[in-house]
Copies of this chain bind each other. A is one copy, B any other.
Amino acid sequence: MTPFKLTEELIVQINELVELRRDSELVGLMGEIHYADVAEIINELNEEEATYLIKLLDSDKTSDVLTELDEDVREGILSNLSAKEIAGELEELDTDDAADIVGELPQEIVQEVISEIEDKEHAKDIVDLLRYDENSAGGLMAKELVKVREGWDVLTCVKEMRAQAENVTRVHSIYVVDDEDHLKGRLSLKDLLTTSTKTHIAQVYIPKVDSVNVNEKPEEVAKIMSKYDLEAIPVVDEIGRLVGRITIDDIVDVIKEEADKDYQMAAGISQDVEADDSIWDLTRARLPWLILGLFGGAGAAVIMGGFEEMFRQYTVLFLFTPLIAAMAGNVGVQSSAIIVQGLANDDIKGSIGNRLIKEMLLALLNGIILACLLLLFTWIWKGNFMTALAISVSLIAVIVVAGFIGTFTPLFLHKRGIDPAIATGPFITTSNDIFGILIYFMIAKMILGI
């Protein structure tokens, strides 16, 4: 397939067609485009045009388009639709997507929208889903699933499944429950294809099935599903009753969001901004970290001010402060990134003590190599061995301490239940800058006997 490419020309063409109300051409054009791509197009239109298109197209397409839109665009469009129209879109969606949209609606219209949904079972499922925390397995799951009772024979089962499958976009597994809806096991699709229709459910189902609790965190669900290569996982409540299922496509989104978040944190950007957000949104996400950096820099300036006398005598020491600060920052970021990533992937094992010792040995090794290079450079440049030695030895100490701080901080935060990712980026560079400069001056002072 040639992947869809959003072009300036296409947007202009659509602007014109909307302007001229060429409805049938619009419907024809949009009919050929995947809903995820239609969403990309609509994200680029103004609210009036976007609403026009949504109202024009069939709701079995527009409902999917709505789920893919940027949140602010969707909000704008929905504010122009009647409760009945919104209900019509929700009718077409799986319960998880529908519940997500209802969750974004202004509180005062929710009840009206829900009451306009014709399929009462669907409406009930959506309302059920609304009570779960967005940041939990319950908030991710859908009610659509195929389940059979262990007491049934295969004939009843197949009949029931056909009916249920009508409402389920993708059938992953057939879950087996008892009369109280407790999850007992599963029937695989493969079994379905290869087993004779005369068998009894209780005899053929696989009694082992992975499941997650409704209160489980999305990141944990993601870990379980990707570790065990699951494409869907049933969700059970506190007493083991089957209440929904989560599919891998939702988990792919969770994984991407997690990765984006950690990456942005490491870069000193509060989560959830994109390149196309407004200058104001971007400032709000970035400025706090820069102010933190400013405080750190001011702190470093005050510390250096305390050594002013020394500098009048040994100006050369001054020249290397940016180098020292940069190395402290770099090592700190490297160390913390390794730990944060290891924690995210669950492969940090063993004691904190051992890990700190390893990291400091590593820092020592790197520090010695770097110090040798720096010693050579400074000695040749300035012709003073003792000064060069003082700077280089300080560098080793600075790097070891930076490695320690970079390793310890995220591990400590993690133990305390705080997201270790905040320990990467500006936070670690700023504190390492200050510690680095302080250590540098103290050691240099000692070695030079000032």
Residues on A close to B: CB < 8 A?
1, 3, 6, 34, 36, 44, 161-162, 165-166, 168-171, 189-190, 193-194, 210-212, 220, 223-224, 226-229, 231, 248-249, 251-253, 255-256, 259-260, 262-264, 266-269, 273-276, 279, 282-283, 286-287, 289-291, 293-294, 296-298, 300-302, 304-305, 308, 311-312, 315, 318-327, 329-331, 333-334, 336-339, 341-342, 345, 347-349, 355, 358, 361-362, 365-366, 369-370, 373-374, 377, 381, 424-426, 429-430, 433, 437
Q: Which residues of B contact A273 (CB under 8 A)?
A: 338
* Contact across chains for B370 and A291 when beta carbons are under 8 A apart: yes
Closest to A306 in B: B319
* Contact across chains for A429 and B220 when beta carbons are under 8 A apart: no
Q: Which 5 A-B pairs have the closest CB atoms?
A: A297-B323, A259-B259, A267-B337, A275-B342, A301-B319
Complex Cα spacing A249 to B329, Å: 37
* Contact across chains for A291 and B373 when beta carbons are under 8 A apart: yes
* Contact across chains for A286 and B334 when beta carbons are under 8 A apart: yes
- Cβ 8 A contact of A326, one of B211, B231, B430: B430
Question: Known contacts A275-B347, A337-B269, A341-B260; is A1 also within 8 Å of B212 by CB?
Answer: yes
Closest to A189 in B: B171
- Cβ 8 A contact of A275, one of B322, B324, B339: B339
- Cβ 8 A contact of A330, one of B169, B268, B279, B321: B268
Q: Which residues of B contact A345 (CB under 8 A)?
A: 256, 260, 274
- Cβ 8 A contact of A287, one of B212, B231, B305, B366: B366
Q: Which residues of B contact A374 (CB under 8 A)?
A: 294, 298
- Cβ 8 A contact of A3, one of B161, B220, B255, B370: B220
Q: Which residues of B contact A286 (CB under 8 A)?
A: 334, 362, 366
Closest approach, in angstroms, between the C-beta of A200 and any C-beta of chain B? 20
Complex Cα spacing A348 to B274, Å: 9
Complex Cα spacing A320 to B168, Å: 63
Closest approach, in angstroms, between the C-beta of A391 and any C-beta of chain B? 9
Q: Which residues of B contact A262 (CB under 8 A)?
A: 259, 263
Contacts A259-B262, A297-B323, A322-B437 given; 17 further ones with Cβ under 8 A? A1-B210, A3-B223, A171-B193, A259-B259, A263-B337, A274-B341, A275-B342, A286-B334, A287-B366, A287-B369, A290-B331, A311-B315, A322-B325, A325-B325, A326-B430, A329-B329, A330-B429
Q: Which residues of B contact A253 (CB under 8 A)?
A: 226
Closest approach, in angstroms, between the C-beta of A313 and any C-beta of chain B? 11
Complex Cα spacing A251 to B255, Å: 12
Complex Cα spacing A36 to B264, Å: 30
